[in-house]
Structure 1
Amino acid sequence: MTVPQVCVIIAARNAARTIPAAIASALREPEVAEVVVVDDASTDDTAKVATAADDGSGRLSVIRLDVNRGPSFARNAAIAGSKSPFISILDADDFFLEGRFRQLFASADWDFAADNIMLIRDDTATDVSKIVAPTFSADPEFLDFERFIEGNISRRRVQRGELGFLKPVISRAFLDRHGLRYDENLRLGEDYELYARAFARGARFKVIRSCGYGAIVRADSLSGRHKTQDLKRLADADLALLKIDSLPEGSKAVLRKHERHVRDKYRLRNFLDVKAERGMASAAAYALASQSNLIPIVRGVASDKLDALFRHAGLSPRQQPVPPLRFLMAGTSTATEK
């Protein structure tokens, strides 16, 4: 007999079009005891539509925030108002594949347990309830701190696949034991930051390559609309992590690498913002204020200019289109996959 033990948390803003499918996919799973939707001050009918998606089982609750506070605040509010021993985050335009939790709970030697993510281009997603994932091996592997942090450094011209995108089932007991919640100052990388702090406190983070989570890839997603200051806050979060005395030097080294990666992106974005708002003279002054500013700005601007030049000359390789379907992690049907 399956014992319902998971609280699914859906932080939603202006998601009236997609949230019924998200809720239905969660309520379909017998392991789900609660589905908590937090409407983060939507200006559409998200709360009304979410309430209408109730299946009559008494598992759905909808919380309405009057002021937009961001996904971290919304998730923390849901955690505070729920009781289930396990927590699972579901984005409002995503969905669970049938049988997801059965595979994740196949063993109990973990604090976080994540599966592969099927990334589906939004113009090819029709009825998500009929989407079936390929059969990949569910043999478990365990991430460590350094591999996780390294797996969140994006590469230019490479389709994004950072491990911070993972949506694990999380042990509430582990969060409570270590006083962990989402950082409400972050509106970008809040998942990454929570997982990193959990790793630093010894979390056992299990990953299986079989797919249980479907993510709809949209051009207007929140992660694609982040503000320049969101990058600075994420880099500052890395600096806070570096203050954890128990981290070994190897872990701190890769964390510094991630901090520089995010900080350099911030410096380039801020340069472009200053140029647009106050002109080239002010932007140049910002770039020349320090070598730390100048190098990533020159590198980023030069790369963009060269890309444009090569495209104009027909010398640039044709940009690969976003595939209609891909996976966050490579999978195989071989039973011995590690």
Structure 2
Amino acid sequence: MTAQSKAGAITDNPEISVCVIVAAKNAADTIAAAISSALRDVHVTEVIVVDDGSTDGTSEAAEKANDGSGRLRIIRFEVNKGPSYARNHAIACSSAALISILDADDFFIPDRFSHLLATRDWDMAADNIAFIDQRWIGHLNTLAIPRFHPQSWFLDLPTFVGRNISRRHRHRCELGFLKPVIRREFLNRHNLRYNEKLRLGEDYDLYTRALALDARFQIINNCGYGAVVRADSLSGQHKTDDLKQLADADKMLLESGTLPESAGEAVRQHERHVRSKYYHRQFLDTKAKKGLVAATAYGLRNPPAILPIVRGVAMDKFDDVVRLFRRAPGTPPDPPAPRYLFPGPTQ
């Protein structure tokens, strides 16, 4: 079946048509693989790429992945506007019943949407994620992604928020990494879109607000999303103010009165966690720019910041000591095997 005939077959059933949105900045090396993985899926009727102010030929690289089916559209911003704005713009330009986000350096595992759409009693549906070291790129055909048992469950708001508090020195497994397929009708009914002030945690914020509106968020164990782990990923290069904006988004939600009582404490814990990281980062920024005296004065002027600063500095010093006693690296180790967001029994 050709790409055109595949797309046409799904168009006949618009309720299961999927628009894949790729917001990209300087992703020329990876975006073609991401787009190709989306276009291979028969449920995908639209792929909208938003080149968000790239300077490396991202748009041209994206066009090389065009399969001629007419499903790919590339929109270019001359000035970077952030992932939330780019995704909202793509949603406004699309028409498919279902919305799916794909990061520009990630990929879909074949037949992803067939598994996600096997049931329909949900507003959002996400699957397991394989976190894959970037050194495996180019050798993905040698990786064996296990077939997990396809059991499903529904995610509640306190569990989701609680699973977004990161732990130092542990693999990051926050549920904000989930990339669900979302019903456009649910987004429109509740006037839900990405918070355009956020350049960090925009997925977490949208999912939290959706769950506060009683979204049915289904999770399946089947692994359908490949997240490439890179040392230089944009998500790991956030600014100090990005932390403040995320903490403020939690605060606004707490003050909105829309949260069920059972979820309020979880959101408060998340807000404190993120704001503590902001205080620590702000102290370090002030120290780097103006010196220790100015950084200390910043802490003393902000009593809630004192404990997070002291704790953060102490943990940094502990890490420095640990690194001193580590052996000098020898031959670089082989890339680690993939790890999974939901480890579980395989078929």
Could you tell me which residue of structure 2 aligns to residue 272 of structure 1?
Answer: 284
SS at match of 2:255: coil
Distance of aligned partners of 1:206 and 1:68 in 2 relative to their CA distance in 1, 3 Å threshold = same
1:100 to 105, 112, 126: 112
1:11-160 alignment to 2 at 5 Å? Answer: 11-128=23-140, 131-160=143-172
Deviation at 1:324, TM superposition (A): 3.7
CA distance in 2, matches of 1:38, 1:167: 17
Q: Please identify, of 50-59 and 244-253, the stretch whose mean Cα deviation from structure 2 is larger.
A: 244-253
Q: Which amino acid counterpart does residue 90 of structure 1 have in structure 2?
A: L
Equivalent-residue separation in structure 1 for 2:316 and 2:211 (angstroms): 36
Q: After superposition, what is the alpha-carbon deviation per residue over 1:88-140, rounded to whole angstroms, capped at 9, x for unaligned?
A: 00001110000100000010010000001100010122244665521101111
1:207 maps to: 219
Deviations 1:225-260 (A, max 9, x none): 000000000000000111232322221111000000
| 1:124-273 → structure 2 map (5 Å cutoff) | 124-128=136-140, 131-273=143-285
**More displaced stretch, 122-131 vs 67-76:** 122-131
Q: Distance in 2 between matches of 1:200 and 1:262?
A: 20
Matched to 2:85, the amino acid is: F
Asked if the contact 1:97–1:133 (Cα under 8 Å) also holds between the matched residues in 2, the reply is no
Q: Which runs of 5+ in 1 are unaligned?
A: none
Instruction: Tell me, yes or no, if the aligned pair for 2:125 and 2:181 is still in contact at 8 Å.
Output: yes
Q: Does 1:304 align with 2:346?
A: no
Q: Which amino acid aligns with 2:265?
A: A
Q: Is the 8 A contact 1:183 1:194 kept in 2?
A: yes
* 1:23 counterpart SS class: helix
Structure-1 separation of matches of 2:266 and 2:35: 38
1:27-73, Cα deviation, whole Å (9 max, x unpaired): 00000000000100110111112112110111001001111001111
Structure 2, unaligned runs of 5 or more = 1-8, 328-332
Q: 1:328 offset after TM fit, Å?
A: 1.5
Classify 1:171/1:232 alpha carbon distance in 2 versus 1 (closer, same or farther; 3 Å). Answer: same
The SS at the match of 2:227 is strand
Q: Quick check: 1:124–1:324 contact (8 Å CA) kept in 2?
A: no
Q: Give, as a single letter, the amino acid of the residue that structure 1 aligns with 2:66.
A: D
Opposite residue 6 of structure 1, the aligned amino acid is: V
C-alpha contact 1:95 1:128 (8 A) present in aligned 2:
no
Q: CA deviation at 1:291?
A: 2.7
SS across alignment from 2:51: strand
The alignment yields a C-alpha RMSD, in angstroms, of: 1.8
Give the CA deviation at 1:309: 2.6
Structure 1 letter corresponding to 2:340: F
Q: TM-score, normalised by structure 1?
A: 0.94
Distance in 2 (CA, whole Å) between partners of 1:177 and 1:321 is 49
Amino acid at match of 1:270: Q
Local SS of the residue matching 1:156: coil
- Aligned pair count? 330
Separation in 2, partners of 1:131, 1:307: 33
Kindly indicate whether the alpha-carbon contact (under 8 Å) linking 2:136 and 2:335 is maintained by their aligned counterparts in 1.
no
Give the AA of the match of 1:117.
Answer: I
Question: Following the alignment from structure 1 to structure 2, what is the Cα–Cα distance between the partners of residues 10 and 173?
Answer: 20
Q: Distance in 1 between matches of 2:246 and 2:142?
A: 37
CA contact (8 A) 1:112 1:171 kept: yes
Which segment drifts farther, 239-248 or 80-89? 239-248
Instruction: Tell whether the 8 Å contact from 2:18 to 2:98 is kept in structure 1 after alignment.
Output: yes
**CA, structure 1 residues 79+262, in 2 after alignment: closer, same or farther (shift >3 Å)?**
same
Is contact 2:212-2:260 (8 Å) kept? no
The amino acid that maps onto 1:328 is L
Question: The residue matched to 2:220 in structure 1 has which SS?
Answer: strand
Q: TM-score, normalised by structure 2?
A: 0.91
**SS of residue matched to 1:288:** helix
